[in-house]
Amino acid sequence: DAAKRVPGRKRALAVDVLGLVIAVIVLAASTHDNAAGIALLDQVTEHTGGTVEKALVDQGFKNQVAVHGTLLGIDVETVERNPQDKGFVPQPKRWRVEQTFGILILHRRLVRDYEHRPASSASRVYWAMTQVMARRLTGANTPTWRDPQTVSA
């Protein structure tokens, strides 16, 4: 998926209002967004026990995802782009997913596709999110591979 900088793979995330990952699906990049959305809704229902009532999706997901969400008891709403906007404009509430993808790209193993199996690639996303959650809980900022090394005197 060129937008996610991962050749041959398509990552789909379900996040909560804080941007924390609920579910991850990793599929071949040739897979249509509808198949990814349906599999993601199934995984969200499985992980949350059916407590999710509403999901916001972008325009890449079509009516099949909304119909499947209705069968699962989830109200799927498509966040549509304003046709008068030019260039990139963050969509209300939908930008949380893009922000989460941006945070995940800071983790070295997720920049490129080093994993051979989709399940292993999905587990790396969960692994990266545990570091993000730990940082948010403790307020500590651990150095990343992009930070310059600080020399103590």
Whether residue 142 has pLDDT greater than 70 = no
Tell me how far apart the terminal alpha carbons of the chain are, to the nearest angstrom: 45
Task: Decide: 88 and 98 in contact? Cβ < 8 Å.
Answer: no
Count Cα atoms within 13 angstroms, Cβ side, for 130: 5
Place of tokens 């692994």: 127
* 147 pLDDT above the threshold of 70: no
Alpha helix segments (H runs only) across the chain: 33-48, 63-72, 95-105, 108-111, 118-138
pLDDT digits (tens, 9 = 90+) for 10-64: 888 888 888 788 889 888 878 888 888 899 999 999 988 888 888 888 777 878 8
Dump pLDDT digits (tens) for 87-101. 877 777 777 877 777
For domain 2-138, the CATH class is alpha beta
> Regarding predicted confidence, which is higher, 14 or 9?
14
pLDDT band at 72 (very low <50, low <70, confident <90, very high): very high
- 100 φ, ψ to 5°? -65, -40
Q: Which segment of 41-45, 124-128, 141-145 scores lowest on mean pLDDT? A: 141-145
Whole-prediction pTM: 0.72
pLDDT at 150 over 60: no
C-alpha distances (whole Å) from 137 to each of 6, 126, 133 are 29, 16, 6
